[in-house]
Amino acid sequence: MSSRLASSNLYSVLRPEKLGNKLNFTNNTERVRDVRHTLRPLREVWLKVGLEKLESHEGVVVKVLLDSGATGLFMDTTFAKEKGFRMEKMKRPLLVKNVDGSENMGGAITHQVECNMFFKGHVERVQMDICNLGKTEVILGMPWLAAHNPEIDWEKGEVKMTRCPPICGRRK
């Protein structure tokens, strides 16, 4: 025996009169439109980090995109070449796909860059796969986010490195 809701509208508990709102809606479309206008769109979170080349110790400041949908750490091919990062050839190419599932125009990932990364007193050595990122220069994906578990304020776009593992370097 299954229980059924009194209304065919599964979200009837969100009716304005149940929430104490005194709005009169003539149809459900207006109600949906009202909810949409009260929600803030999701925002991207960008960090300004320093990247240090291992050979020359030359530093480069770059805007980095935090992307929980990315499966690695990535640096744009053009950015890596323009800034003079030493690219190491990988043993095997790695096929890369874009968010929409299409193959990346730059083809397979064939090179990596190793560098030191600095952010708000946090320092670590990272390996980034080199691929075509378009206008984005560097992406820190889920492996980095999971390893560091940063505190992210999505409304303000602020990131705090308060929960890093012990292996992370921290400058005082």
Q: How many CA atoms lie within 13 A of 99 on its CB side?
A: 7
pTM of the full structure: 0.72
Residue-range domain boundaries for the chain: 1-39, 45-170
Pair of tokens at residue 36:
């949409």
For residues 59 and 118, what is the distance between their CA atoms, to the nearest angstrom?
Answer: 10
pLDDT in tens, the chain (172 residues): 444 444 444 444 444 444 444 444 454 444 444 444 444 555 789 999 999 999 999 999 999 999 998 999 999 999 999 999 999 999 999 988 877 888 878 889 999 999 999 998 888 999 999 999 989 999 999 999 999 999 998 888 889 998 887 777 664 4
CATH topology of domain 45-170: Cathepsin D, subunit A; domain 1 (2.40.70)
For residues 62 and 117, what is the distance between their CA atoms, to the nearest angstrom?
Answer: 10
Between CA 101 and CA 50, with CA 142 as vertex, the angle to 5 degrees is 110
For residues 49 and 70, what is the distance between their CA atoms, to the nearest angstrom?
Answer: 18
